[in-house]
Structure 1
Amino acid sequence: MFTESFKGNLRFLSFLQRPASIAVLLFFFVGIADGAMLPFFALWAQHDAGIPVGWIGVLFGCYAGGEILATPFIGGIADRKGRRPVLLCSTLGVGLGFLLLYFAHGVWQAACVLLLIGISESVLHPTIMTVIADSVPHERMRSQAALARTLSSLGRAAGPALGAILVLHSLGSVFLASSAAILVCTVIVACCLPETMIGEGEEDDDEEGLSSLLPALRDGRLARLLLWVILLEMCGSWIEAALPLYAHTMGTLSASGVGALFSYGALLVAVLQFPLTHLTRRVSEAKLVLASGAVLVASFAALLVSPGVPSLVMAMSGFALADMLFGPLIPAAVNALASSSKRATYMAAVSVTNDIKDTLGPATGTALFALSLQLPWVAGIGLAAGAAVGLAAAIARAPRQRTAADHGAA
């Protein structure tokens, strides 16, 4: 009796026997790490690290730049060395990097540490997503990606709350929390995650060079798809980058009000992502992309009409809804293009598009805002509509499923 009761109480841990479930859990802790650090980074840089305000944007660029620089060289390494060792090294590197950032002072020290974190993180997200793609049938990929995004959003909502408590002690303590969250991932991978790669992996091909590691240079279908992804995500990031400036300049929201608005957006994704994906599971990917573009256009139009609080809430709600419709489609669409031996490499290419968006999006959005307060919204309407149509066409031309052999492997 006691044994049966004990086993029943431990059934909730059975998900740790499923690689896809472990990967989703990793996304939660990575979300906590990002959420605890990012809202307070600029304040730490200015007040604790002695970094001039003009250099703070450069440091953000170092964070994303490390990922962009590293991905062509190591982005596909999980296809050769395996998923588990890559995740162990990546989480350990990011975790120790955040720990070093706690002790960093000045521009050069912070820049070097952020580059290290970016290099280590360049394979983190794509390899976690590759574990999911290895472990579930293709027809469940969109649903599993939505679940991963839900857990990531929950982490991103919990992270700032944790950081708000820690900054009462010191601004730099948020990096200790981020480090701890990532090192928890290291322990989970070491103790629970089996290797999911089929076979022994590919041998390095010295003649291919970077082209073997950056598949967008070789696969025209992938390159076209990712180009439209970059454009659609970039115009969406203008809401994130320029909306706080717009609300502050127009006297609509205080700084804390802007923070509350973005917390609302993150919670909206966390609560609604998985139910929405379930409800739209029978809708084609191309139609969902078009719907995402239409919602973004409506969000930009709301900001054009008025800078008031209702318009800001409508825009943030639309941005979150567009992200929920669009986000889970891309891993599934890219997975359909990839063979099992190139899966991590293709997911790394998706990660590069996110890094490019994180670099170009805020820069272009704020530059447009500097020219005219409403220019980002005007330009966003045209770009969102065009990118959505282009991406929908690219997805419609992509293969709808992998080969029979890959189905059996999954």
Structure 2
Amino acid sequence: MFTQRFTGNLSFLSVVKRPASIALLLFLLVGFADGAMLPFFALWAQGEAGIPVAWIGVLFGCYAGGEILATPFIGGIADRIGRRPVLLCSTLGVGLGFAMLYFSHGVFQAACVLLFIGVSESVLHPTIATVIADTIPGEKTRSYFSLARVMSNIGRAAGPAVGAVLVLHSLGSVFLGSAVALFACACLVALALPETRRAGSLADDDDEEGLASLLPAFHDRRLAGLLAWVVLLEMSSSWIEAVLPLYAHGAHTLTPSGVGSLFTYGALLVVVFQFPLTRMTRNASESTLIVASGVVLTMAFVALMLSSGLTTLIVAMTGFAFADMLFGPLVPAAVNAMAQDGNRATYMAAVSVANDIKDTVGPATGTALFAVGVHVPWVGGMVIAALAAWGLASSMRRSRGQDRRIP
């Protein structure tokens, strides 16, 4: 079944335009870099970097905090100087940061490096997404963003698998693997990616608008309302990523390599089922898919609250993956429909800001709740996931009524 699904995704790639196909490969490599190090970050911080558990969530926050600090200043820069130079600088900066993290020790050093990585990565994901949006017609963006998630999760599946081998040498060696993947991205951008920014776009005429032009959430109420609920929903789901390794390791259910294998399993589910699920639900409304995502995510939290056994961890990871598949492609497609050619990268940067806030607040709050009680994150996650899914579904319905361009 996996071979059939994977072959079907590759056959779809054969009709993708060249810039979009390169963007999909970038998503794969960036997904590999994230997947190789994220499952092992907390274990590395605790075991090799000499960082107390209470500070691990803060370091996760530094990673995303660098992106939040940088985005108001450079979030929309790809609308001004082009997609290609932005991607080249970003991939080189993130790769260098991962290499530096391998040599870091202690809270201060790790925090400084993670802030640097965050600044460099602040424009990476939104600019890759913008290359796809520049190339693909608006009515097909949801399908292509689903395919982008498939490629990203192929990388996220391979990353933990490779990371599980690298940690046999040392936990910190996963950062070198991530650095190699980002340097490969830089080579791909330099050698193969054409510029997709249209000359004479609206951004050429509004350079004096300042920070507000780089953060359209400041002056687009629909976008602000939608992204506020996105932050809450994704913050609750981030607790699974941040806390699950500590939860499983503390209960002696999984070794570090076992944690990597569990995350590989979750990524493989997205690889196999994301595109077929998107096709099956193409006639379903956005609000229906979001509510379904919230229900599945809530069930995953319930499972984790009941047990820390291996079967329960697998069930929870399955629920997390399917909730992500239902919810993930909707937001960039909806935001792209709100944007114009001249501010597309800026609007995608606003989505990235929402993700950064989630990545900053989520792990810090998740690990802090875990320090209070091992089941506290799961109880809180149930409440927040249900509330955020309802709020986001309502926001989507209102946006749908106001703008029929949302796919």
Q: Give the TM-score band, short-chain normalised.
A: 0.7 to 0.9
Question: Any gaps of 5 or more consecutive residues in structure 2?
Answer: 1-10
Task: Give me the whole-angstrom Cα distance separating, in 2, the residues matched to 1:47 and 1:369.
Answer: 18
Q: Structure 1 residues 12, 255: closer, same or farther in 2, change over 3 A? A: closer
Deviations 1:297-341 (A, max 9, x none): 222333444444443332221111110000011110111111111
Task: Give me the whole-angstrom Cα distance separating, in 2, the residues matched to 1:110 and 1:390.
Answer: 36
Deviates more, 1:17-26 or 1:310-319: 310-319
Question: Any gaps of 5 or more consecutive residues in structure 1?
Answer: 1-10
Deviates more, 1:248-257 or 1:387-396: 248-257
Q: Structure 1 residues 305, 162: closer, same or farther in 2, change over 3 A? A: closer
Q: Structure 1 residues 22, 362: closer, same or farther in 2, change over 3 A? A: same
Match of residue 78 from structure 2: 78
1:11-410 to 2 correspondences below 5 Å: 18-45=18-45, 55-201=55-201, 202-203=203-204, 205=206, 208-247=209-248, 256-398=257-399, 399-401=403-405
Deviations 1:210-241 (A, max 9, x none): 21111111100000000011111112223333
Shift of 1:71: 0.7
Q: Structure 1 residues 54, 275: closer, same or farther in 2, change over 3 A? A: same
Q: Structure 1 residues 164, 303: closer, same or farther in 2, change over 3 A? A: closer
1:133 maps to amino acid: A
Task: Give me the whole-angstrom Cα distance separating, in 2, the residues matched to 1:144 and 1:186.
Answer: 22
Query: With structure 1 as the length reference, what TM-score do the two structures score?
Result: 0.86
Decide whether the 8 Å contact of 2:24 with 2:151 is kept in 1.
yes
Deviations 1:240-259 (A, max 9, x none): 33444544566655555444
Q: Structure 1 residues 87, 243: closer, same or farther in 2, change over 3 A? A: closer
Q: Structure 1 residues 37, 17: closer, same or farther in 2, change over 3 A? A: same
Whose radius of gyration is greater, 1 or 2? 1
Deviates more, 1:240-249 or 1:110-119: 240-249
Decide whether the 8 Å contact of 2:24 with 2:148 is kept in 1.
yes
Decide whether the 8 Å contact of 2:290 with 2:393 is kept in 1.
yes
Decide whether the 8 Å contact of 2:54 with 2:367 is kept in 1.
no
Give the secondary structure class of the aligned counterpart of 2:199.
coil
Query: With structure 2 as the length reference, what TM-score do the two structures score?
Result: 0.87
Give the secondary structure class of the aligned counterpart of 2:394.
helix
Task: Give me the whole-angstrom Cα distance separating, in 2, the residues matched to 1:301 and 1:175.
Answer: 33
Give the secondary structure class of the aligned counterpart of 2:181.
helix
Task: Give me the whole-angstrom Cα distance separating, in 1, the residues matched to 2:316 and 2:168.
Answer: 32
Deviations 1:6-50 (A, max 9, x none): xxxxx9997796111111100011111122223344455556556
Task: Give me the whole-angstrom Cα distance separating, in 2, the residues matched to 1:13 and 1:300.
Answer: 35
Task: Give me the whole-angstrom Cα distance separating, in 2, the residues matched to 1:267 and 1:109.
Answer: 34
Q: Structure 1 residues 38, 295: closer, same or farther in 2, change over 3 A? A: closer
1:136 maps to amino acid: I
Q: Structure 1 residues 12, 381: closer, same or farther in 2, change over 3 A? A: closer
Task: Give me the whole-angstrom Cα distance separating, in 1, the residues matched to 2:277 and 2:119.
Answer: 34
Decide whether the 8 Å contact of 1:32 with 1:155 is kept in 2.
yes
Aligned residues: 393
Q: Structure 1 residues 204, 97: closer, same or farther in 2, change over 3 A? A: farther
Task: Give me the whole-angstrom Cα distance separating, in 1, the residues matched to 2:44 and 2:124.
Answer: 25
Shift of 1:271: 1.6
Task: Give me the whole-angstrom Cα distance separating, in 2, the residues matched to 1:337 and 1:193.
Answer: 26
Task: Give me the whole-angstrom Cα distance separating, in 2, the residues matched to 1:96 and 1:307.
Answer: 37
2:157 maps to amino acid: A
Decide whether the 8 Å contact of 1:289 with 1:391 is kept in 2.
yes
Give the secondary structure class of the aligned counterpart of 1:281.
coil
Over the matched positions of the two proteins, sequence identity in percent amounts to 69
2:357 maps to amino acid: I
Q: Structure 1 residues 372, 162: closer, same or farther in 2, change over 3 A? A: closer
Decide whether the 8 Å contact of 1:248 with 1:255 is kept in 2.
yes
Task: Give me the whole-angstrom Cα distance separating, in 1, the residues matched to 2:89 and 2:289.
Answer: 36
1:383 maps to amino acid: I
